[in-house]
Amino acid sequence: MKLELQRAPWYHGDPTEETKSANDILNGVWSEAASTFVTMREVRAKIGGSEPMGIQPFINEVLERRFKDAGWDASDSRFRLNNTWLRITFRHQMSLGSDLLDAIRLSAIEEIEQCVLIGASLDFLRVISPKDAGVLCSFEKIVNQTARLNGATTSPLLVGKLSPLSLLSEKVHAGVFNNRVKS
């Protein structure tokens, strides 16, 4: 996956080295998660089980493993290394307030140098979770809510947009897009 960062309107700091390293960790996550998703759909179809519809659990699993392998504390899509905190969310949009409050609290009380709140673009969410995309925390919703905090906080906050970067094999592409994603 590709991560594009932008600063909250009040924040002028540059990404920390830890924040910059997230791009390396994210490289290939989409391909790996999508491949696992397609494999699980095939296995469950063969045994007559229910097939997974959303790819987000597979993405979360890959993210947690990769961040841990890179030395980050990782739990529930929250990642911390030194004084940098990242939240990668595929949760319901109603959780956005608690994610923003976490970022404000961490920087004020726990002396986190930089908080990064990351969401997939709405177009990417339509692929990740076709049925739920409209109610999940998208990058666009995060940016909108962050802008509303201008003047209310000075937290060192970056907002990140996830987009697919990895190329998918023909088989995986077909498994992700055919009969699953609506235009």
Which domains can be identified in the chain, with CATH numbers?
A: 2-177 (3.40.91)
Closest by CA to 98, choosing from 125, 82, 117, 84, is 117
Given a cut of 70, is residue 163 above it in pLDDT?
Answer: yes
Which of 101, 83, 88 has its CA nearest to residue 146?
101
pLDDT above 90 for 166: no
Helices (H), 27-114: 29-46, 56-69, 96-109
What is the model's pTM?
0.93
Under the banding of pLDDT at 50, 70 and 90, the label for residue 89 is very high
pLDDT at 183: 54
Q: Residue 6: which H helix or E strand, with range?
A: strand 2-7
The model's confidence at residue 93, banded by pLDDT at 50, 70 and 90, is confident
Longest C-alpha distance within the chain, in Å?
A: 56
State the pLDDT at residue 60: 96
